[in-house]
Amino acid sequence: MADKFEKSGSNRQTEKKGLSLLLTDARFQALDTPTKRRIIDLLHEKGEFGIQTFDAVMTSFPIAPIDESNIEGLLPTLTLVEMKTTRKPIKDESLNGFFFGATQREYDMARALGDRYVFAFIVLNSDNVHGRPFAVLLTLDQVKERTRAERIQYQVNFRNDMSREQQAKQLILLGGASDL
C-alpha cells in the first residue's frame, strides 16, 4: 500500500514540476480554486465539468493576473490547458511513446470548447533532440489524429455507508495465518 502512495506523491511532484515549467512562458497562468470554479460556472451550458478538468489557462500574449474579478470578461479569450507530464525521455515533438491517461470529462470539455481547450504534453527529460524539456500543445482533434490505440479504464471508489451486517454477509475468509 505504501508503494501506491509513494507513486501518487511522485506523480504530484511530476505534475508540479510540469506546471512550473509551463509557467515560465508568461502566456500561461495557474488560477486559484475560486477562479477555476467561476470558469466552470460560466461554462455551465456547455456541459458538466469540474475544476480538475484543466490545470491552467493560456492567453495569446502575457496579461495581468487573472482572478475572480476579471475572469468573466477574459473568458472568451482564454484557452483552458490540461497538462499531461512525463519524466521519460521522449525524442521530439512527435511524442512517440508518450503514454497518458485522460478522463471522460476532459474529453467532453475538449469537445465542447474546441480550439479553446488544449492538452499540454510536457516532457521534463532533457534526453531529446532539443536537449532540454519541452511542451507540445494539442487540441482533442490533434490528439485523436496521433492516437494509435486507446482503452477505457474504470476507476471505482466504494461507498462507505454499508452496515457491518451487509459487509459481513459478503465476507469470505481464505486460508489460515500459516499460509501467509
Phi, psi of 83 (to 5 degrees): -90, 140
Tell me what pLDDT residue 78 has. Answer: 97
CA–CA separation, 79 and 119 (whole Å): 10
The model's pTM is 0.83
Tell me what pLDDT residue 6 has. Answer: 62
Alpha-carbon Rg for the chain, nearest whole angstrom, is 20
CB 140 within 8 A of CB 121: no
When mean pLDDT is compared across 57-66, 74-83, 96-105, 147-156, the lowest value belongs to 147-156
Q: What is the mean pLDDT of residues 168-172?
A: 85
What value does the mean pLDDT of the chain take? 91
Catalogue the E-assigned strands of 26-158.
28-29, 56-58, 79-86, 117-123, 134-138
- Band (1; pLDDT cuts 50, 70, 90): very low
Tell me what pLDDT residue 43 has. Answer: 93
Residue 1 grid cell: 500500500
The position carrying cell 489524429 is: 145
CB 117 within 8 A of CB 79: yes
Helix (H, G, I), strand (E, B) or coil at 39: helix
